[in-house]
Amino acid sequence: MRITMVGTGYVGLVTGTCFANTGNDVTCLDIDPAKIEMLNRGESPIYEPGLSDLIKRNTKAGRLHFTTDKVAAYGGAEIIFICVGTPPDESGHADLQYVLGAAKDIGTAIEEGPGNTVTARTPKIIVVKSTVPVGTNRRVRDEIARHTSKAFSMASNPEFLKEGDAIHDFTHPDRVVIGADSKQTGDMLRELYEPFVRQGNPIFVMDIPSAEMVKYAANTMLATKISFINEIANLCEAYNADIDEVRRGMCSDKRIGNQFLYPGLGYGGSCFPKDVLACISMGQQVDQPAKLLEAVDQVNQVQRDRFIAKIDKHFGAAPGSDAAGSESKTASLNGKRIAVWGIAFKPGTDDIREAPSITLIQQLIDRGAKVAVFDQVALENCAKVFGADIIYAEDELSALDGADALAICTNWGEFLHPDFDDMKQRMNTPLIFDGRNLYRRESMAEHGFVYYSVGRAPVGMK
């Protein structure tokens, strides 16, 4: 099939490359010329394990192309996937300017192009893969129709891949969800996805509003699990219980399961925070307040502030937890050097959008600390936010040189078994604030660290 992916971000680039890898002819379109230049040089603009090799292989085979030329990209396509960003606007609602901008381009290209029927099989199918509020497909259809009188079909195909595991997730999906405006459209998309569900995983074809809703239901459920376990962890701290034991006891109940129930710094990334806000906003628009999700969002905000509050308390700053830092805390970390391990919002990606680390680094800077950071792949993106305000270490150990404390924000596998003796020697003070519960408390006590984690009593306090 001839496919055009609109947007070469984490979703468009991964899914387009995987479609090319099953023999389709794929054109990836982006309005960002720098990204397209990189891709045409054979470089990936994002870090995603395995992606660079797959891009090179499929480009070499002539199945994968990159362009900024809208007319060329849209003109030849049988199926167009809209994969542009849908960030939150000021009120929390999904900002649809990029989706509707792409719809306008598509309508214009269909009108001016060589004709809407590229093959005898079907008119062009426009698929919204971006995560969008229910009803957006209708708006996209209307926007395209404003610019062309030619026929086209519409579909919704929400994407469930996880950054860091994106290729495996896309090529081995738990399920594929397709909302289609006709049986013919649904059948064509089913055919496209069949190579990825050969083990028998389901392809669900449904109406478009339900498909749009599935994505929000799934993401807000996952966000709810994270806020839930964080709330329980906070109660554990208050009542001197240990969240590790509580998790074990709770998660062995098969009805509950053990996925996505790890306490930490709260969820981040480009999806959960904005999707929770968008769902709350969808509720407000129809006078159906999403009260549970409002609480999920609040718990998540508080979780970040609790972490800096622990640091404040340890260093003797006045209690309180506002991100900007009150007058009394402005200089509370003056002269202190704090190392931060992990910037990415999760391991396996260079994505730092809404990452808890970014909030923490800003809070540390606001308090006068000198911050030295290390991340396996996200340092470049971090430098775009903080520039020369912080120190970028070459590896995790050198980040610790002269540090008064270490704060851990991402559970990269490489942080799991560090050389604790070397760490202690490099640090001014053996003090760790672990936002991911990477280490056993007993082991930290044995190594002589003062160790704070989430939902567990601190270790090594006099």
Facing residues of 432 across strands? 406, 451
- Cβ proximity of 99 and 107 under 8 Å: no
Q: Does 88 bind ligand NAD (CB under 6 A)?
A: no
Helix (H) or strand (E) segment spanning residue 396: helix 396-399
46: left (phi over 0), alpha (psi -120 to 50) or beta: beta
Contact stretch for ligand NAD (CB under 6 A) within 159-167, 226-234, 253-261, 397-405:
159-167
Q: For residues 285 and 143, what is the distance between their CA atoms, to the nearest angstrom?
A: 21
Q: Pick the catalytic residue: 28, 271, 279, 382?
A: 271
Q: For residues 231 and 227, what is the distance between their CA atoms, to the nearest angstrom?
A: 6
For 428, residues 6+ apart whose C-beta sits below 8 A from its C-beta are 337, 402, 403, 404
Interface residue with ligand NAD among 3, 28, 54, 84 (CB under 6 A) is 84
CB of 269 to ligand NAD, least distance (A): 7
Q: Which is nearer to ligand NAD, 130 or 185 (CB)?
A: 130
User: Does residue 153 sit in helix, strand or coil?
Assistant: strand
Footprint (CB under 6 A) of ligand NAD, residues 351-410: none
DSSP string, 335-364: T-EEEEE--SSSTT----TT-HHHHHHHHH
Q: For residues 346 and 353, what is the distance between their CA atoms, to the nearest angstrom?
A: 10
Q: Tell me, residue by residue from 426 to 455, as one string, x for binding to ligand NAD by CB under 6 A and - for no binding.
A: ------------------------------
Contact stretch for ligand NAD (CB under 6 A) within 30-38, 114-122, 300-308, 358-366:
30-38
Interface residue with ligand NAD among 98, 315, 439, 451 (CB under 6 A) is 98
Q: For residues 323 and 260, what is the distance between their CA atoms, to the nearest angstrom?
A: 26
User: Does residue 310 sit in helix, strand or coil?
Assistant: helix
271 has catalytic annotation: yes
Q: Which is nearer to ligand NAD, 126 or 371 (CB)?
A: 126
User: Does residue 117 sit in helix, strand or coil?
Assistant: coil
Footprint (CB under 6 A) of ligand NAD, residues 246-305: 270-271
Strands of the sheet with 370-374, listed across from one edge: 391-392, 370-374, 337-341, 405-408, 431-434, 450-452
Interface residue with ligand NAD among 1, 3, 4, 8 (CB under 6 A) is 8
User: Does residue 213 sit in helix, strand or coil?
Assistant: helix
CB of 343 to ligand NAD, least distance (A): 17
* Cα-Cα end-to-end distance for the chain: 67
Footprint (CB under 6 A) of ligand NAD, residues 101-130: 101-102, 105, 130
CB of 14 to ligand NAD, least distance (A): 8
Strand 153-156, strand 2-6: pairing: unpaired
Q: Does 71 bind ligand NAD (CB under 6 A)?
A: no
Contact stretch for ligand NAD (CB under 6 A) within 77-85, 322-330, 419-427, 435-443:
77-85
Q: What are phi and psi of 440, to 5 degrees?
A: -75, 140
CB of 438 to ligand NAD, least distance (A): 23
Contact stretch for ligand NAD (CB under 6 A) within 7-15, 57-65, 203-211, 364-372:
7-15
Facing residues of 4 across strands? 27, 80
Interface residue with ligand NAD among 3, 11, 280, 450 (CB under 6 A) is 11
Q: Does 163 bind ligand NAD (CB under 6 A)?
A: yes
Q: Does 35 bind ligand NAD (CB under 6 A)?
A: yes
* Residue count, binding to ligand NAD (CB under 6 A): 27
For 361, residues 6+ apart whose C-beta sits below 8 A from its C-beta are 340, 343, 371, 373, 382, 386, 390
CB of 354 to ligand NAD, least distance (A): 11
Q: Which is nearer to ligand NAD, 337 or 346 (CB)?
A: 346
**Binding positions for ligand NAD, rule: CB under 6 A:** 6-12, 29-32, 35, 83-86, 98, 101-102, 105, 130-131, 159, 161, 163, 270-271
Q: Point out the residues that are catalytic.
A: 271
